[in-house]
């Protein structure tokens, strides 16, 4: 069946069964491999993408659900050769080790910061539930999200390095 998708602000047409997982279509049909296959059950978050701005697990999302909605993958965050502030913050904070979970973490963080521009540590923990980092870089991920919050605001004052950003939430 021919299905039209809006992926990273570009219309794409794919020939696929409507029950095929969105993750499979993104990776296998559209060569967008930033989203990873982790558990296949929507429990680890490695496959997270945004659909209409909401973080969803693409491994358990049927293609038919995404039709007619705006899908954003980690590849779609960059604009005019410039990384998204969350991507920049993850790099600056060293918030990755093996990086398998990173794209899902970044996508969940983008969705979180869209809902809450200045989250506390507790709000970050709640907002990132379901994203698993097997390497255990959670403190650096939290620091990166605080740093991204500052970057997105374009604040003239406030933490500008990961160590300062980690304490911004007041939870440490």
Q: What is the mean pLDDT of residues 129-141?
A: 96
Looking at the predicted structure, is the pLDDT value of residue 135 above 70? Answer: yes
User: The pTM is what?
Assistant: 0.88
pLDDT digits over 54-78, tens only?
999 999 999 999 999 999 999 999 9
Strands (E), 73-156: none
The 10s digit of each residue's pLDDT in 154-171 is: 833 444 455 555 554 444
- The answer to whether residues 125 and 69 belong to one domain is no
Print the domain residue range for 54: 2-75
Q: Judge whether 120 lies within some domain.
A: yes
- The predicted pLDDT at position 161 comes to 53
pLDDT score, position 164: 53
Domain end among 36, 56, 75: 75
pLDDT for the residue 154: 80
Q: Does 118 share its domain with 164? A: yes
**Sheet of 54-57, strands arranged across:** 10-15, 2-7, 70-72, 48-51, 54-57
Locate tokens 């209409």: which residue? Answer: 52
Q: Which of 55, 75, 95 is the last residue of a domain?
A: 75
pLDDT in tens, 77-117: 999 999 999 999 999 999 999 999 999 999 999 999 999 99
Q: How far apart are CA 69 and CA 41, in angstroms?
A: 22
> What letter does residue 100 receive in the DSSP assignment?
T
Phi/psi at 65 (nearest 5 deg)?
-65, -35
In a domain, 80, yes or no: no
Number of domains within the chain: 2
For the domain that residue 48 is a member of, what is the CATH number?
A: 3.10.20.30
pLDDT of residue 165: 52
One domain for residues 90 and 71: no
Residue 41 — pLDDT band, cuts 50, 70, 90?
very high
Q: Among the three residues 40, 75, 110, which one is the final residue of a domain in this structure?
A: 75
Looking at the structure, tell me whether residues 59 and 112 fall in a common domain: no
């Amino acid at each position: 069946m021919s299905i039209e998708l809006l992926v990273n602000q570009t219309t794409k047409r794919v020939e696929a069964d409507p029950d095929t997982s969105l993750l499979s279509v993104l990776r296998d049909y559209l060569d967008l491999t930033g989203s990873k296959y982790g558990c296949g059950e929507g429990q680890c978050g490695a496959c997270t993408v945004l659909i209409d701005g909401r973080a969803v697990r693409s491994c358990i999302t049927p293609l038919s659900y995404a039709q007619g909605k705006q899908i954003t993958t980690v590849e779609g965050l960059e604009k005019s050769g410039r990384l998204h502030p969350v991507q920049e913050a993850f790099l600056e904070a060293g918030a990755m080790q093996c990086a398998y979970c990173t794209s899902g973490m970044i996508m969940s963080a983008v969705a979180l910061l869209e809902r809450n521009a200045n989250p506390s540590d507790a709000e970050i923990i709640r907002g990132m539930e379901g994203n698993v980092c097997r390497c255990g870089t959670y403190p650096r991920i939290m620091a990166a999200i605080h740093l991204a919050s500052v970057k997105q605001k374009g604040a003239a004052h406030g933490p500008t390095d990961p160590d300062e950003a980690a304490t911004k939430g007041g939870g440490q």
